[in-house]
Amino acid sequence: MANVICDPNALAQGAKCFASQCLSNDRRKAVFMFLLAKELVAYGFLPDYTLNLPKLLADSKSWRKFTRGDFWPVLLQIFQEEVASIAADAGVPLPANTNALVKAARCFECIPSKDAVILYLLCQMSGQR
Angle at 33 between CA 29 and CA 39, to 5 degrees: 145
**For 52-71, b where at least 16 C-beta lie within 10 A, e where not — what string?**
eeeebeeeeeeeeeeeeeee
Pair 6, 19: CB distance under 8 Å: no
pLDDT band of 96, cuts 50, 70, 90: confident
pLDDT band of 129, cuts 50, 70, 90: low
Q: How many CA atoms lie within 13 A of 56 on its CB side?
A: 15
pLDDT band of 1, cuts 50, 70, 90: low
Secondary structure class of 67 (helix, strand, coil)? coil
Eight-class DSSP state of 23:
-
Rounded to a whole number of angstroms, the distance between the first and last alpha carbons of the chain is 6
Size of the chain, expressed as the number of residues it contains: 129
**Mean predicted confidence (pLDDT) in 34-38:** 97
Which residues, other chains included, contact 15 with Cβ-Cβ below 8 Å and sequence gap of 6+? none
